[in-house]
Amino acid sequence: MAETIMVAGGAGYIGSHMVHQLITDGYDVVIVDNLSTGHRKAVNPQARFYEGDTRDGQFLDEVFTKENITAVIHMDAFSIVPESVQNPLKYFDNNVIGMIKLFEAMQAHAIKYLVFSSTAATFGQPEQSPVGDNSPQKPINPYGESKLMMEQMMKWVDQAYGIKSVALRYFNAAGALADGSIGEDHQPETHLIPIILRTAMGEQDKLKIYGNDYQTPDGTNVRDYVHIIDLAQAHILALKYLQAGNPSDAFNLGSSHGFSVQEILQAARTVTNKEIPAEFAPRRGGDPDILVADSSRAKKVLGWKPQYDNIHDIIQTAWTWKQKHPQGYQDK
């Protein structure tokens, strides 16, 4: 019988791709999501969906009682940096308390494995590039701080209750399932690639490039864009790694290639064959100059082999989704 995995946040951008990959690989999937930022239409019909909040211990208890879950993939968090600066308590409440409740329920139901969506935001302004797994973690916003607190909680929960976990720190998640059936639909959208593609569709006049005086070759921020199906596959490898008896760990996930905002814009112009007007605008605030991952440990230890190593291919998948779903899921 297929093993049952819970994906908390499985109606979200990354969660919906995670669920797709698990089902493709033969797993049975339970989704828990309160649809606060996710979409009912992103819920995979082959998974069993429980609508509810991970801060609700009774709700979690009911799901774990009903389902024979062996491991949890935790993707249910708030993740908009400027919102976290304005309203930090919203972030500590949802992200940190959600994880406490999840761990309590996992402990009560003797569930031993967790794979966690962490983030490059736990590193803040890294002193070195690329950023290795053991680089100092000094977040510069409440979102990154909440994720670091969650990583730290994982260590003590392992020590006390034996729940093993892997934190996967994504850099810039990008792209969509290649057939364009699911993709990125955040409200509001703050991420570069979907905003560029929105501009390509004529939904806004110009892309605003936030800052051209950074310490980078062309003055615009450099980021590391990694395809979400590659991210999803890393989670399955992390799960197998834990189930093979390996210790809790944390890994950085990126493509290890940095692209400036202007390079991403140029690549999108090539992919879409559209002009995509752009203008320079003031810095957004809180943006580190360069964030590029050193993912060598994930490749060596987990055996991770990202399939997407070309930024044009990554943008093409997002473009296919955008053309098929110009208004996103349209369920809100």
Residue owning tokens 């450099």:
222
The active-site residue, picked from 50, 91, 113, 143, is: 143
DSSP-derived secondary structure for 91-127: HIIIIIIHHHHHHHHHHHTT--EEEEEEEGGGS-S-S
Q: Which is nearer to ligand NAD, 103 or 245 (CB)?
A: 103
Q: How far is residue 253's CA from residue 280's CA, in Å, rounded to a whole number?
A: 29
Q: How far is residue 208's CA from residue 106's CA, in Å, rounded to a whole number?
A: 44
Question: By Cβ distance, which residue is nearest to ligand UDP?
Answer: 221
State yes or no: residue 231 binds ligand NAD (CB under 6 A): no
Contacts with ligand UDP, 171-190, as mask; x by CB under 6 A: -x-----------------x
Pairing of the two strands 259-260 and 222-223: antiparallel
To the nearest 10 degrees (0 to 180), the angle between helices 261-272 and 311-324 is 60
State yes or no: residue 287 binds ligand UDP (CB under 6 A): yes
Select from 5, 6, 7, 11 the one that contacts ligand NAD (CB under 6 A): 11
State yes or no: residue 20 binds ligand NAD (CB under 6 A): no
Q: Which does 141 bind (CB under 5 to 8 A by kind): ligand UDP, ligand NAD, none?
A: none
Select from 54, 220, 255, 316 the one that contacts ligand NAD (CB under 6 A): 54
CB 139 within 8 Å of CB 147: yes
CB 38 within 8 Å of CB 184: no
Look up 143 and say whether it is catalytic: yes
Tell me the H-state helices in 162-219: 192-200
Select from 90, 138, 186, 191 the one that contacts ligand UDP (CB under 6 A): 191
Q: Which is nearer to ligand UDP, 204 or 323 (CB)?
A: 204
Q: Which residues bind ligand NAD (CB under 6 A)?
A: 9, 11-15, 33-38, 53-55, 75-77, 79, 94, 98, 117, 119, 170, 172-173, 186
Active site members = 143
